[in-house]
Amino acid sequence: MSPFLLTRLLAEDAMDAALRADVLHGLTAQPKTLPPKWFYDAHGSDLFEQITELPEYYPTRAEREILLGRSGEIAAALPARTLIELGSGSSDKTRHLLAALTSLESYVPVDVSESALAQAGEGLVKEFPGLAVHGLIADFTAGMSLPDTPGPRLLAFLGGTIGNLLPAERAAFLASVRALLSPGDALLLGTDLVKDEGVLVRAYDDAAGVTAAFNKNVLTVVDRELGADFDPAAFDHVALWDAEREWIEMRLRSRADQTVKIPALDLVVHFAAGEELRTEVSAKFRKEGVRTELAAAGLDLSHWWTDSEGRFALSLSTAR
């Protein structure tokens, strides 16, 4: 059995410093914002797993359908010797790719969660004997380096997470991905597609209220980590489709005039009744738009796979 390696590229206090910076910047901005990565403490991650099973939330099922049906084609398009996955989490979806990539020698999962990487890595080296697994504890949005692994390399960024980045952030992210790759390496990218507004809004505002609880969890995280006194019940969950920008926005709307204290930042924040705090943007894409954004970063789109209903896409693009 190949060894499982785990390397920390993220300083122990890096996430605390990042949270402080994001909260200070976002809650003193106008309009107020908080980044969606702060949804995901242990409780938030559990809520998101529940969301993926909801009837209204199609992206996870749609992407899994593509991976189940097309992993062989993906492997044939690029017989990779190394698979790198950004935001790998439990690596559950990735197992379909790992099984299909018969030339694979090395898997490099990247995530901020040491526990998720350790649990996934220990299982994978048993499930895929002979596969070298080298987990990286890192924030891939902040720039990183990769271990020396054999090429060609396939870098996977699944789940439609790229939609959480604003256009300028996406351009910077794709440029950073291209910088990690050599000519002939490839990016496998998951993108949620533009579709009926009702379908989109329901996916982010489910009848059971799980997404509302997930959205409000960001306030619980700030309370716990920074000593704030947010009352999640004093905010309503809002999901809106912005047709011009072609993205969903999740917001928290203040139910009354209120003041929130954040002692760790020596910050007092006032919310007017009806004022909204944006917590997530989730962009939806069209094929030609994806092609254009990839090309600007030095990546040429070569393959495009969608689920049977055309809701979600996986694209393969080659570094030039």
Question: What are the pLDDT digits (tens) for 301-311?
Answer: 999 999 999 99
Residue 267 lies in a domain: no
Query: What pLDDT is stored for residue 108 in this prediction?
Result: 97
pLDDT at 304: 98
Report the b/e string of 15-47 with b at 16+ CB within 10 A: beebbbebbbebbeeeebbbbbbbbbeeebbeb
Reported as a pLDDT band with limits 50, 70 and 90, residue 1 is: low
Structure token pair of residue 173: 């992210």
Q: 163-219 pLDDT, tens per residue?
A: 999 999 999 999 999 999 999 999 999 999 999 999 999 999 999 999 999 999 999
Pair of tokens at residue 302: 């070569």
Mean pLDDT of 19-46: 96
Query: Is 76 within a domain?
Result: yes
Q: Is 276 domain-assigned? A: no
Q: Does 234 map to a domain? A: no
Residue 103 falls within a domain, yes or no?
Answer: yes
Res 3 pLDDT > 80: no
Whether the per-residue pLDDT at 36 is higher than 80: the answer is yes
pLDDT at 318: 98
Q: Check whether 230 has a pLDDT greater than 80.
A: yes
Mean of pLDDT over the chain? 96
Selected residue with higher pLDDT from 67 and 142: 67
**311/63 Cα distance (integer angstroms):** 9
Residue 147 lies in a domain: no
| Dist CA 190 CA 6 (whole Å) | 26
Q: How many domains does the chain have?
A: 1
- CA–CA gap between residue 203 and residue 117 (Å, rounded): 28
Residue 16 has pLDDT above 70, yes or no: yes
| CATH code, domain carrying 112 | 3.40.50.150
pLDDT of residue 22: 97
Residue with tokens 């809002």: 238
- Asked which of 17-21, 26-30, 93-97, 239-243 is least confident by mean pLDDT, the reply is 93-97
Q: Is residue 17 part of a domain?
A: yes
Residue 108, domain member (yes or no): yes
Burial state string for 77-102 with b = 16 or more CB within 10 A and e = fewer than 16: bbebbbbbbbbbbbbebbbbbbebbe
Q: Which domain holds residue 41?
A: 1-141+153-228+286-320
| pLDDT reading at 90 higher than 90 | no
- Is the pLDDT reported for residue 143 higher than 90? no
DSSP H or E segment with residue 26: helix 14-27
268-303 pLDDT per residue, tens:
999 999 999 999 999 999 999 999 999 999 999 999
Per the CB < 8 A criterion, the answer to whether 183 and 319 are in contact is yes
pLDDT band of 93, cuts 50, 70, 90 = confident
The reply to whether the predicted model has a pTM over 0.85 is yes
Q: What pLDDT does residue 89 have?
A: 87
What are the C-alpha distances in Å from 173 to residues 143, 261, 264, 304?
9, 34, 30, 20
Tell me what the mean pLDDT of segment 8-16 comes to.
91
Cα 90 from Cα 108, distance rounded (Å): 13
